[in-house]
Structures are given as C-alpha cells and as structure tokens.
Amino acid sequence: MSAELNVFIVEDSLIQRMHAATLCSELGLHVIGEASDGNEALLLLQNSSLPDVMLIDLEMPGMDGIELIQELAHRAIPVSVIVSSAKEDSLISSVETMLQAYGLPVLGAIKKPLTLAQLNKALDNFKPLTKETPQTRPEPVMAASEITKALIEHQFVAYFQPKISIKTGVIKGVETLIRWQHPEKGLIMPSQFISTAEEQGLINELTMEILDLALQQCRHWHERGLKITVAINLSMLSLSCSNFAEHISQKVANYAIDPSFIMLEITETAVMGDVGNALGTLARLRLKGFGLSIDDYGTGFSSMQQLSRIPFTELKLDRSFVDGAHTKPHLRAILASAIEIAKKLELKSVAEGVECIEDLTVLQELGCDIVQGYITARPMPGHEVVPWLKSNNQRLRELCRSTL
C-alpha cells in the first residue's frame, strides 16, 4: 500500500471522522478532505483535486452513503471506495455488491469500529485509477457462422477442474469446461459464444461436441485406473428436446462408461420454461443412472421447488455464497442452510469458487462434502490432470487436514 495516497473521509460523526483521519495519518496517507454527508462531499470535490480513495459512512443525514456512491457512479468520478458502517453485515455486503455493479473499485467493506489493521488491509487492494482508465468492455460475441465453422473443424476443446473431497483431499471428479481454441483469436471463453449458440439453435451440437471430448478423456482415465466422475453442463434448451436423453445415453454407451460416472449439471433456472419436457428428460436420465447436479444453487427464485420435483444427486453451492463466507455471517448462514438441506435429502454438497483457506475452513466446519476452486486447482487440459494429481496429492491432503 502506497503512502502517497490521497484520502477523502465522508462521515457525519466528528469523533469518527477524527478517528479515521488519525488512522490515515498513522499509515502515512494524506487526508485531503472531510465531509459530514454526501452533499457536502460532492460540493467539496468540485473545488479540489480528486482523491485516490473515499472512505464513506453509509448512514448520514442529508445525502447518505448509498446515494453518494450512486452519484459518484453517475458522474463517472474515478475514485476507489471503502465503505464503513455500524449497520448489519448483510447491508454492508449489499452495498459492496452495488459498488461492483456500478464499476467503482471497492477496496473494502468494513464494519465499525474502524481499525488500523482493517484500513491497511483494504488499502492494500488499491490500484491507480484515472478518468482515462478504460472501463471494462463487454466481451465480443462470436457469430453463428463462426461457431458452425468451429464445430465442423473441431476447434472446441475441454478443460477440467478437479472436485476434491474436503475431508480427505482426494480427487472425486472433474467439471468439464468448454473452451474454443480459435486458430487466430486464441482461447475463447464460453461467455463469448454460448448465448449465440443457444439463440441460433447450435447448442445441442455444441453439447454433443464437448460431451464427446469429456467421454474420451473419461475413458482414458478409467483405463488407467483413475475412476473419477466427469460433470457436463447442460443447456435449458437441450432439456426440451424429447430425444436428448437417448442421444446422451447412446454416446456414453459407445465409450463403455457407466452412466453413474457422468454428472449432468443443470442450473436451477433451466427447467423454468418447458417444464414438462425438461422434467421428463431429467427423470429419464436419472433412471438410466446418470447423476444430476443442481448448479448455482440459491441464485434463482425457486431453489426449494426444484429440489422437490427433480431427482438431483448433487447440490452445487454458487460461488457468490462461498467467496468471503469467513467474514460475512449472512453468507455463512446461507451455506449452513444449503448444506443441511443437502444432508437431509442425501445429496452431495459441492462448493465452487473456493479460493482461500479461511473459506475452506468454514465449509469444513459446516460439513460440506466437496470443494472446487483455485485453492485446489485451476481448470486444465485433460492431459495435465494426472501429472497435476501426482504432484499435488500430498499438498491436497495437507490442505484439508490443516483446516480440521
């Protein structure tokens, strides 16, 4: 954290403002402005140089901290923000999410009383920002004709992210992630082509293409004694096709793989449209022995309803509930509830997006079964999985033991 940063404090309590200014001085920062509410802050900003960081209280008379943040975003004022409040964690977290949605860099969301350690940790996240700093640009969407050509030329490739037992550190399976190895544009992520494939009626062909790649790799692993499950993501549109279950079953049979080793991941919103056909397809797949995973659990509006009517075998906890659970009690409560539901329904619970040891510890304490995320492994091509496993077996076991 640079000691050359200019900080602007917005806080209605004089004592709290003085306390924050003292902490900034102890860190060697320059406090270039103070205001008692949002209106005063905006007025002062018009007549002074812009700060690098604004430390903003949420509850203030006049213009409160939330309104101030909205104004900063609407006026495109390039400043990083630290939120500080005595309000409940869930409210502070909501404001943090709002900041991210507005595109304002959020360095931290701190519950009062503000401490030197908290402030220093938040400022460690600072990166210089100017009005000329380019905004995050939407990823270019690939045309249907390019996707068709890529399917014909087999340009799509499979990456695999390991799913690890939280108790033992042993690999239990992998999730298949589609990538497009474009001959000119390099590796293209699914966010740039999945929506077009769905809109243009190409998603079934794309699903079958990645399924083939996943089954080839699964067969290769099984022949060498690595008996792990392979998860495949399904589109809601595919579920509406009456013969989709037969196509999936036939492909798996062609590779002589037991369907119990194939986990089909379905987002909870995938069966909100053509309910009859979708439920029929899922029921038939489960009847044939395939595993069914409800992906991104908790991000839709009908999680409980989906669990009650679909024969799932796995419940996948969305990363938005996992990331930062060790510091946010409301996230921990949501995770605890979902994991308890999974246990009562005899489903395996899988937490995705696990990136730090503290969140891993929370998941262990709550009784989660499997973790997936950068703390254990990044997605990788199939041929790298076995070498990675050999060199990381001991690390994974120690990692899981260290949090018990």
Here the CATH number for the domain that contains residue 37 is: 3.40.50.2300
Quick one: CA dihedral 103, 109, 115, 118, positive or negative? negative
> Are 115 and 149 in a shared domain?
no
Instruction: Supply the pLDDT for residue 173.
Output: 96
**100 or 145, higher pLDDT:** 145
> Is 132 inside any structural domain?
no
Judgement on whether residues 69 and 181 belong to the same structural domain of the protein: no
Has residue 137 been placed in a domain?
Answer: no
pLDDT digits (tens, 9 = 90+) for 70-124: 888 888 888 888 988 887 766 777 777 777 777 778 888 888 889 999 899 888 8
Domain end residue (candidates: 124, 154, 179): 124
**pLDDT single digits (tens) 120-135:** 988 887 877 544 444 4
Q: What's the gap between Cα 5 and its chain centre?
A: 31
Same domain, 214 and 342: yes
**Do 62 and 170 have their domain in common?**
no
275 located within any domain = yes
One domain, residues 148 and 90 = no
Q: Which residues of 161-187 are buried (b: 16+ CB within 10 A; e: fewer)?
A: bbbbbbeebebbbbbbbbbbebeeeee
Last residue in a domain, options 89, 124, 159: 124
Q: Residue 302 — pLDDT band, cuts 50, 70, 90? A: very low
266 and 177: one domain?
A: yes
Let me know whether 110 and 167 are in one domain: no
Residue 324, by phi and psi: left (phi above 0), alpha (psi -120 to 50) or beta? left
For residue 301, what pLDDT band results from cuts at 50, 70 and 90? very low
Question: What's the Cα-to-Cα distance from 153 to each of 140, 202, 248, rounded to whole Å?
Answer: 21, 15, 22
Contact 124, 1 (CB under 8 A): yes
pLDDT at 289 over 80: yes
Alpha-carbon torsion angle 332, 333, 339, 344, nearest 10: 160
Residue 360 lies in domain: 144-400
Classify residue 219: in a domain, yes or no.
Answer: yes
114 and 171 co-located in one domain: no
Q: What's the pLDDT score for residue 73?
A: 83
Residue 365 lies in a domain: yes
Instruction: Provide the residue type at 43 as one letter.
Output: L
Q: Which of 124, 154, 178 is the last residue of a domain?
A: 124
292 phi and psi, to 5 degrees? -125, 125
Burial of 103 (0-12, 13-18, 19+ CB in 10 A): exposed
pLDDT value for 403: 64
What CATH number is attached to the domain comprising 178? 3.20.20.450
The percent of residues in the chain predicted with pLDDT above 70, rounded, is: 90
Pairing state of beta strands 262-267 and 186-188?
unpaired
pLDDT value at 41 more than 90: yes
What rounded mean pLDDT belongs to the chain? 86
Please state the domain count of the chain. Answer: 2
pTM of the model: 0.72
Same domain, 326 and 243: yes
One domain, residues 325 and 226: yes
Do 73 and 169 have their domain in common? no
* Cis peptide bond prior to 113, omega within 30° of 0: yes
Is the domain of 162 the same as that of 78? no
